[in-house]
Amino acid sequence: MGWTAGLALGMTMVSVAGAQSGDHGRKWKPLPPTAHIVVTVVKGFNGKPLPNAAVVFHAVRDGKDDGNLEVKTDPEGKATIDVIEVGSHLSVQVIASGFATSAQELDIDSPSKTLEVKLLRPRAQVSVYQNNDGSASEVKPGVQEPPHAGSTKPQAAPSQSTTPPAGTPQ
């Protein structure tokens, strides 16, 4: 390698090193700080972790919808995400087969957040048409309730005539 090739290589290295300064230009702005969020999903009746549950994150920041992200839980029941911005309002929905869906809302105000969600088995639906007194409905989940007595159409009143209709024997 001649002295001219060495000089050219040295000049190239100096110019590349100068391009990595802190000045990025007018349009560059740093990324906002993000939070490390860990959601642990456990079974409500025994506290054991629930693997492969879907955890849906819906973030809103400054009135702007940041979209939805879905993460599945690992064998320890943990779903981890690192892309939600600090200062966001977050809705977390957990969906797992054989369990009732759970939803919670929280504000991300620190660089790390943990949340534990206890999923329960589905319960019977409560009816607004019957007196439940705060107890679960006796109708099994998924079974349609019978029509309510007040929802039927009123029938026309029978006519008051004393003569029988034509064609009927007397």
What is the domain count for the chain?
1
Q: How far apart are CA 34 and CA 110, in angstroms?
A: 9
Domain span at residue 79?
Answer: 32-119
pLDDT per residue over 67-78, tens digit each? 999 999 999 999
CATH number, domain with residue 105: 2.60.40.10
The pTM (predicted TM-score) of the whole model is 0.60
**Is residue 48 in a domain?**
yes
Question: Residues near 157 by Cβ (< 8 Å), separated by ≥ 6?
Answer: none
When pLDDT is averaged across residues 92-119 and rounded to a whole number, the result is 94
